[in-house]
């Protein structure tokens, strides 16, 4: 088996019991299919590949978010895992030999990993001897709430809680936002699954008053309004004026004399950076609700990823890729229909066509296709889009991690 056959490194967000971002669960895009088809050696190879990929993640990234990995308990490589550092790393273990107690080698590896600072969770789908033998050495239990019927899950969990009181739980594979009620009732401390990126139907969402003011400024900017006119509009909002002055006077600009005029600040930024700043401001002003922070983070990662993918393009084109990436997910953050985003926010015809998918030869289309394919773990689409752009999947993967670094270092 080749490394390419395992697919690319993808991830989904892990949230806490209040839907706050905790970290990410990493996996290889083809791992689930290959695990079903392969045997112990295949699982060992896939786990080694996964650990190798995750070990390349920047330590700075890991200082902001925790890492979750699902591994085969019978193929644990404590030496390789040690490269991940231990602290902030969660290992979710399963075994094909659940009908028997864990081997001495497995118990020794788990004990060693716990000593090194790893959190070790046991996949709980039965009360088999394997589970019982590892409970004294584990941090807690994980429960999958995926495709199988959820009937009886609460009773099953209650039984294990009675047998092993005090151990925390985490939930995997939660399908939709509506299904979040179950892991909350179970008291899960960490929750992950497709629900994080779910695009639920939104029938009545509208832009907030602050969002409409920013949209008005964006519109004037796109229409070529004079800086003086836009400064007059911005001055009517004290909070926006303050944020612009604070941004322009930040130490990174290296200014000797501070800027105190809104008009000066706009001139200092320039039109393209001002448009980008306003888009970021729109995202930061999103209504606070369930998953809004996680979705905002995902939106910025996609925007930065698309900008990095366009390294060979001009600066204006890279700026447009950034904006396109934001607009492609902005509806999920602002909690408004995608059609309302298109109708309300000004954008170039090229960006609008890329979002609508109406032009087969749209220059930005392949970049958006790649970003969407990466988020969904569609290996075939990733390879096809990379070929169109002229990048290898490995290079694109490095850029995706760089985008994460940038977002977590800079915040929103």
Asked whether the predicted pLDDT for residue 62 surpasses 80, the reply is: no
Question: What stretches of 21-118 adopt beta strand conformation (E)?
Answer: 21-28, 66-72, 89-94
Q: How many CB atoms lie within 10 A of CB 50?
A: 19
Asked whether the predicted pLDDT for residue 211 surpasses 70, the reply is: yes
Query: Are 92 and 192 contained in the same domain?
Result: yes
Query: Are 244 and 186 contained in the same domain?
Result: no
* DSSP three-state, residue 292: helix
Query: Are 217 and 325 contained in the same domain?
Result: no
pLDDT band at 4 (very low <50, low <70, confident <90, very high): low
Average per-residue pLDDT in the chain?
Answer: 87
HSE of 126, CA atoms in CB hemisphere, 13 A: 11
Query: Are 264 and 323 contained in the same domain?
Result: no
pLDDT band at 254 (very low <50, low <70, confident <90, very high): low
Give pTM, 2 decimals. 0.85
Among 142, 167, 197, identify where a domain stops: 197
User: What contacts 410, CB < 8 A, 6 or more positions away?
Assistant: none
pLDDT band at 3 (very low <50, low <70, confident <90, very high): low
Dihedral angle sign, alpha carbons of residues 272, 273, 278, 280: positive
Q: What gap in Å lies between CA 119 and CA 71, rounded to an integer?
A: 13
Of the ranges 44-53, 78-87, 102-111, 245-254, which one carries the lowest mean pLDDT score?
A: 245-254
pLDDT at 412: 45
The whole-number average pLDDT for the span 235-240 is 81
pLDDT at 201: 61
Percent above pLDDT 90 for the chain = 47
At residue 134, what are phi and psi to the nearest 5 degrees? -100, -15
Query: Are 392 and 310 contained in the same domain?
Result: yes
| Structural domain includes residue 328 | yes
The whole-number average pLDDT for the span 52-65 is 83
pLDDT at 367: 97
pLDDT at 203: 47
What CATH number is attached to the domain comprising 52? 3.20.20.450
Nearest alpha carbon to residue 59 among 84, 25, 32 = 84
pLDDT at 172: 95
User: What contacts 381, CB < 8 A, 6 or more positions away?
Assistant: 369, 370, 372, 373
pLDDT tens digits for range 296-349: 889 999 999 999 999 999 988 998 999 999 999 988 888 788 888 888 888 889
The whole-number average pLDDT for the span 125-142 is 93
Start-to-end CA span in the chain (Å):
41
The whole-number average pLDDT for the span 364-384 is 94
Phi-psi region of 335 (alpha: psi -120 to 50; beta: other; left: phi over 0): left
Query: Are 320 and 391 contained in the same domain?
Result: yes
Give 314's DSSP letter.
Answer: -
pLDDT at 277: 86
Of the ranges 199-203, 292-296, 304-308, 375-379, which one carries the lowest mean pLDDT score?
A: 199-203
| Structural domain includes residue 241 | yes
| Structural domain includes residue 204 | no
| Structural domain includes residue 397 | yes
pLDDT band at 106 (very low <50, low <70, confident <90, very high): very high
Q: What gap in Å lies between CA 340 and CA 345, rounded to an integer?
A: 8
Query: Are 184 and 220 contained in the same domain?
Result: no
Query: Are 76 and 186 contained in the same domain?
Result: yes
Query: Are 24 and 121 contained in the same domain?
Result: yes
Query: Are 279 and 295 contained in the same domain?
Result: no
**Host domain of residue 255:** 209-284
Report CA-CA distances (Å) from 25 to 84, 115, 220, 302.
14, 22, 42, 17
Among 284, 300, 320, identify where a domain stops: 284
Query: Are 154 and 50 contained in the same domain?
Result: yes
**Domains: count for the chain:** 3
Q: Identify any residues that bridge with 120 across adjacent strands, giving them in sequence order.
A: 91
pLDDT at 30: 85
Query: Are 240 and 128 contained in the same domain?
Result: no
Q: What gap in Å lies between CA 55 and CA 59, rounded to an integer?
A: 9
Among 249, 284, 319, identify where a domain stops: 284
């Amino acid at each position: 088996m080749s490394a390419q056959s395992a697919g690319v490194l993808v991830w989904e967000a892990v949230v806490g019991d209040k839907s706050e971002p905790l970290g990410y669960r990493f996996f290889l895009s083809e791992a689930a299919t290959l695990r079903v088809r392969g045997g112990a050696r295949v699982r060992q190879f896939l786990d080694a590949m996964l650990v190798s990929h995750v070990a390349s993640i920047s330590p700075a990234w890991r200082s902001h978010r925790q890492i979750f990995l699902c591994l085969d308990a019978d193929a644990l490589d404590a030496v390789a895992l040690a490269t991940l550092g231990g602290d902030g790393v969660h290992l979710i273990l399963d075994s094909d030999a659940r009908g028997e107690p864990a081997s001495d080698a497995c118990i020794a590896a788990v004990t060693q990993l716990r000593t090194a600072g790893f959190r070790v969770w046991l996949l709980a789908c039965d009360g088999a001897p394997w589970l019982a033998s590892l409970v004294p050495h584990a941090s807690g239990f994980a429960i999958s709430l995926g495709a199988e019927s959820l009937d009886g899950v609460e009773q099953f969990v209650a039984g294990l809680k009675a047998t092993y009181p005090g151990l925390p739980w985490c939930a995997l594979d939660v399908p939709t936002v509506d299904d979040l009620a179950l892991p909350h009732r179970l008291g899960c401390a960490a929750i992950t699954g497709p629900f994080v990126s779910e695009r639920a139907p939104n029938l009545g969402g509208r832009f907030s008053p602050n969002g409409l003011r920013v949209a008005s400024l964006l519109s004037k900017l796109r229409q070529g309004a004079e800086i003086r006119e836009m400064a007059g509009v911005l001055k009517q909002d004290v909070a926006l004026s303050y944020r612009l002055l604070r941004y322009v006077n930040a130490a990174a600009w290296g200014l000797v004399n501070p800027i105190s005029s809104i008009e000066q600040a706009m001139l200092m930024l320039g039109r393209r950076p001002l448009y980008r700043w306003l888009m970021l401001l729109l995202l930061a002003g999103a209504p606070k609700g369930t998953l809004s922070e996680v979705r905002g983070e995902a939106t910025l990662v996609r925007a930065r990823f698309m900008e990095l993918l366009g390294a060979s393009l001009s600066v204006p084109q890279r700026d447009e890729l950034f904006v396109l990436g934001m607009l492609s997910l902005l509806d999920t953050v602002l909690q408004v229909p995608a059609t309302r985003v298109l109708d309300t926010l000004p954008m170039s015809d090229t960006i609008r066509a890329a979002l609508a998918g109406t032009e087969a030869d749209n220059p930005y289309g392949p970049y958006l296709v790649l970003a969407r394919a990466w988020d969904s773990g569609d290996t075939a689409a990733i390879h096809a889009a990379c070929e169109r752009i002229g990048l290898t999947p490995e290079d694109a993967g490095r850029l995706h991690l760089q985008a994460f670094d940038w977002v977590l270092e800079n915040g929103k």
